[in-house]
Amino acid sequence: MTRRLLVAGLALLLAVAAGGAAYAYLHGIQQRAYHDAALVPVYRVDKPVPAGTPASALASQGLVGRGVIPERYRPAGAVTSLSSIQGELSTSELSPGEVLDASQFASPAAVAATPAAVIPRGDVAISVAVDSIHGVAGLVEPGDKVDILVEIAGSPTAERFLYQDVPVLAVGSSTVSPTANQTDAASSAASTTTTTTGSAGSGLITFAVPPAAAQRIALAESDGGGVTGELYLALLPSSGGTSPVSYPPVDARNLFTNQPTP
């Protein structure tokens, strides 16, 4: 038993010695690689940081940690104190290994003003091009809702609704401001006015829809799935209009009715 203990103890000592030698060797390599440069403190990203993460959560959730790098490699905006970015949000996703930089953070109001901030959570933005005939004479504005109609090739050709009550996120590059659908931090700084970075009379209409709906709109826009011609938009009243109803397709067989009014 005593011999076994001696062997085990010797093995442990050898392991510790080998570990120390390896550390010293690697440390020496690092120092030579840095050419004995002066090392300065920085914060490194330890875990993925989603866009919109409050700076106050970085330390409390273990997302970042302290580290050192050669002074000449430290970015000019490197964060040396988390208090310098308190109250701000990350503007993009940060990956492990990145050096934390002040340019990666902004105030909630500034983050809310970015185009991506106006997309409701769970939706995506998709644009279609329409002329004045198909786009309600350019009367559609950001924040409106429209119905989308498509023409289906066949014998006879038919017109039918693809989607109803679709939110218009932007017209051209004019967008609606964030609402309560966005993150709490963004919505707290939001208003209900329109953020305009371009003219609202553009023929480019951007919708905010679930990903599955975006697929179908993209297919219809490219004349896929039997669709022919451009999409038609029907503008809904600001009061909300009627609830979406499943209407049958209209073709030459049922185009005319006995009703003199719509």
pLDDT, one tens digit per residue, over 131-190 is 999 999 999 999 999 999 999 988 788 999 999 999 999 898 777 755 434 444 334 333
> Which of 28-37, 57-66, 207-216, 217-226 has the weakest average pLDDT?
28-37
pLDDT of residue 35: 58
Shared-domain flag, residues 129 and 223: yes
Compute the mean pLDDT over every residue in the chain, rounded to the nearest whole number. Answer: 80
Q: Which domain holds residue 85?
A: 37-106
* 230 and 152 part of one domain: yes
* 229 inside domain: yes
The tally of domains found in the chain comes to: 2
**Are residues 201 and 135 located together in one domain of the fold?**
yes
Residues 72-83, buried b or exposed e (16+ Cβ, 10 A)?
eebeeebbeeee
**Confidence (pLDDT) at 1:** 59
Q: Assess whether 97 and 144 both reside in one domain.
A: no
Would 251 be classed as within a structural domain?
Answer: no
pLDDT at 151: 93
Q: Give residue 64's pLDDT.
A: 94
Question: 157 and 99, same structural domain?
Answer: no
Same domain, 151 and 220: yes
Question: In whole angstroms, what is the distance from residue 75 CA to residue 92 CA?
Answer: 17
Position 238 scores a pLDDT of 83
Angle CA(116)–CA(121)–CA(126) in degrees, nearest 5?
A: 55
Q: Model's pTM, two decimal places?
A: 0.55
